């Protein structure tokens, strides 16, 4: 099956009917990490040999990246969770607005295109609902490697001869940048000489990308620390590689269990990627047992309020802030959730309040007064992670919650509703003709 964009008008008009659920019981297995796969798909353009990537989730963002690679001339096929990218002699260097505007992660083709072809035109991604998301650090990194950049008609137009290794500082106002670190690391693999990336992002997905590049023949050291060293090589080759588990999906399932109680075994996880989440949930009164490759999560009764600040890894991930807010909305006491990565990422507050939550925004923080019970309501998902938060709120609410805007959920969760149903949640998908 060849990868194509899969948001259909059906998906857009479908709804989830979520009924009060819990306690949850059983075992679920976590998918591969969406945020690892996307840059790794871009990295597979660094060679003209075929790469085979395993444990790939079939989510819309992966399909969108597949479409970008195909427009550049690569063959991309996804069968089950196995993705084959065959760049052959791909020639394209343009990532157009219609594709980049669907998904900001498209910007990570910039580094590989410059490394292979010495030129690239990538549409400026623009803002998005979770707030302004500039790409200045990506551009600064490329310029340091000798790339000349102009912005023309909404496109980043980048031209270079042979890229040259350099010392690049990638710290921004909100800390390090995950995809800018990946972009510069990819470009530097084929540059002349050595590149030092200072204040590099330390996220597990950056480590996964570095390991993929190393398997391709790249020389990289220090990945997972704020100082990465890349020694340029002449060429890279195709590889077979397995993606790490999705820590955000795992965290979402852990928070779901905390919100409605139960005893759930979450399999195929890396506990070392979830330290801050385990710490905060334990503080809230959830029992978490680390087993070999799995986590047993047990919760009963109302959890306690805890204060949470999102930070780059190993801090609490911004991609779990909305889900944690849904949990705090039904926890005992008052909690403060502070967003240090995307200070505008609070679109879910108004929808949670429509379900009876008591949340007030104060700058980059949300003050959450826990209530005993939320009340089911029709709600609309404003973005990817907020949609998961509304699913969790629906499980903890009385009566029924009707969630629209499922195209957001499907950008990043392959089968959240099936996983939750598997452990006893009451969720039903309502097709267009049933409404």
98 vs 136, which CB is nearer to ligand UD1?
Answer: 136
How many chain residues are in contact with ligand UD1, going by CB under 6 A?
Answer: 23
Q: Does 342 contact ligand UD1 by CB under 6 A? A: yes
Backbone angles phi, psi at 327, to 5 degrees: -65, -45
| Residue in 14, 67, 319, 383 binding ligand UD1, rule: CB under 6 A | 319
28 vs 135, which CB is nearer to ligand UD1?
Answer: 135
Cis peptide before 314 (omega within 30 of 0): yes
Alpha carbon distance 397, 424 (integer Å): 15
272 three-state secondary structure: helix
Q: Does 64 contact ligand UD1 by CB under 6 A? A: no
| Residue in 19, 77, 143, 174 binding ligand UD1, rule: CB under 6 A | 174
Alpha carbon distance 168, 228 (integer Å): 10
User: In this structure, are residues 23 and 261 in contact, taking their beta carbons and an 8 Å threshold?
Assistant: yes
Residues noted as catalytic:
128
Least gap, CB of 211 to ligand UD1 (angstroms): 16
| Residue in 177, 195, 211, 331 binding ligand UD1, rule: CB under 6 A | 177
Least gap, CB of 305 to ligand UD1 (angstroms): 24
What ranges make up the beta strands (E) of 36-112?
51-54, 75-79, 82-86, 94-95
Least gap, CB of 232 to ligand UD1 (angstroms): 23
| Residue in 83, 120, 230, 341 binding ligand UD1, rule: CB under 6 A | 341
320 vs 423, which CB is nearer to ligand UD1?
Answer: 320
Alpha carbon distance 201, 183 (integer Å): 11
Alpha carbon distance 405, 14 (integer Å): 8
| Residue in 74, 180, 278, 352 binding ligand UD1, rule: CB under 6 A | 180
| Residue in 2, 10, 54, 136 binding ligand UD1, rule: CB under 6 A | 136
Least gap, CB of 133 to ligand UD1 (angstroms): 4
Alpha helix locations (H) across 45-128?
60-71, 97-100, 110-117
> Which region, judged by CB under 6 A, interacts with ligand UD1, from 1-9, 132-140, 158-166, 291-299?
132-140
Which x/- pattern, by CB under 6 A, does the window 198-237 give for ligand UD1? ---x---x--------------------------------
Alpha carbon distance 29, 99 (integer Å): 31
Q: Does 388 contact ligand UD1 by CB under 6 A? A: no
35 vs 387, which CB is nearer to ligand UD1?
Answer: 35
| Residue in 30, 53, 137, 213 binding ligand UD1, rule: CB under 6 A | 137
| Residue in 3, 105, 359, 409 binding ligand UD1, rule: CB under 6 A | 105
370 three-state secondary structure: coil
User: In this structure, are residues 240 and 50 in contact, taking their beta carbons and an 8 Å threshold?
Assistant: no
Which residues are within 8 A (CB) of 192 and not within 5 positions of it... i.e. 6 or more apart?
A: 162, 163, 164, 165, 232
The strand order across the sheet containing 400-404 reads 378-380, 400-404, 15-19, 426-430
**CB atoms near residue 228 (< 10 Å):** 27
Instruction: Using CA atoms of 31, 238, 88, 246 in order, give the dihedral in degrees to the nearest 10.
Output: 10
| Residue in 118, 172, 193, 333 binding ligand UD1, rule: CB under 6 A | 172
134 vs 333, which CB is nearer to ligand UD1?
Answer: 134
| Residue in 9, 91, 150, 173 binding ligand UD1, rule: CB under 6 A | 173
- Cα→Cα distances 165→46, 144, 200, 236, Å: 16, 8, 16, 17
Which x/- pattern, by CB under 6 A, does the window 265-284 give for ligand UD1? --------------------
Least gap, CB of 18 to ligand UD1 (angstroms): 24
Q: Does 134 contact ligand UD1 by CB under 6 A? A: yes
Which residues are within 8 A (CB) of 350 and not within 5 positions of it... i.e. 6 or more apart?
A: none
Q: Which two tokens stand for residue 394?
A: 């629906």
Strands 262-267 and 24-29: parallel
Q: Does 62 contact ligand UD1 by CB under 6 A? A: no
Q: Which residues lie near ligand UD1 (CB under 6 A)? A: 35, 38, 104-105, 133-138, 172-174, 177-180, 201, 205, 318-319, 341-342
């Amino acid at each position: 099956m060849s990868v194509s964009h899969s948001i259909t008008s059906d998906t857009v008009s479908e709804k989830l009917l979520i009924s009060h659920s819990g306690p949850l019981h059983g075992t679920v297995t976590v998918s591969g990490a969406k945020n690892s796969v996307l840059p790794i798909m871009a990295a597979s353009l660094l060679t003209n040999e075929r790469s085979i990537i395993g444990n790939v989730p079939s989510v819309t963002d992966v399909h969108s990246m597949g479409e970008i690679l195909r427009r550049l001339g690569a063959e991309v096929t996804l069968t089950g969770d196995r993705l084959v990218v065959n760049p052959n002699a791909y020639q394209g260097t343009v990532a157009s607005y219609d594709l980049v505007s669907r998904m900001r992660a498209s910007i990570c083709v910039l580094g590989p295109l410059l490394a292979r072809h010495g030129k690239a035109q990538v549409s400026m991604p623009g803002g998005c609902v979770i707030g302004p998301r500039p790409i200045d650090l990506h551009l600064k990194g490329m310029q340091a490697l000798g790339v000349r950049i102009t912005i023309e008609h909404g496109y980043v137009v980048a031209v270079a001869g042979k890229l040259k290794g350099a010392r690049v500082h990638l710290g921004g106002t909100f800390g390090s940048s995950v995809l800018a670190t990946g972009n510069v690391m990819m470009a530097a693999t084929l540059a002349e000489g050595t590149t030092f990336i200072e204040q590099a992002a330390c996220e597990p997905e950056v480590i996964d990308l570095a390991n993929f590049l190393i398997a391709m023949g790249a020389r990289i050291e220090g990945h997972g620390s704020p100082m990465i060293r890349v020694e340029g090589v002449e060429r890279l080759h195709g590889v077979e590689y397995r993606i790490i588990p999705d820590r955000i999906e795992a965290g979402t399932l852990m928070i779901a269990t905390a919100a409605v109680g139960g005893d759930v075994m979450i399999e195929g996880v890396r506990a070392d990627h979830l330290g801050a989440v385990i710490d905060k949930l334990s503080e809230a009164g959830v029992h978490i047992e680390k087993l070999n490759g799995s986590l047993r999560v047990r919760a009963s009764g109302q959890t306690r309020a805890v204060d949470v600040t999102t930070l780059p890894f190993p801090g609490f991930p911004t991609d779990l802030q909305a889900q944690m807010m849904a949990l705090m909305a039904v926890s005992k006491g008052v909690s403060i959730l502070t967003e240090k990565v995307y200070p505008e990422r609070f679109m879910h507050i108004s929808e949670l309040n429509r379900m009876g939550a008591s949340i007030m925004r104060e700058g980059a923080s949300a003050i959450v007064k826990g209530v005993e019970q939320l009340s089911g309501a029709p709600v609309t998902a404003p973005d990817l992670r907020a949609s998961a938060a509304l699913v969790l709120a629906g499980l903890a609410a009385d009566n029924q919650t009707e969630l629209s805007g499922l195209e957001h959920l499907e950008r990043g969760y392959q089968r959240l509703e099936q996983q939750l149903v598997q452990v006893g949640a009451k969720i039903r998908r309502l097709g267009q003709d049933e409404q």
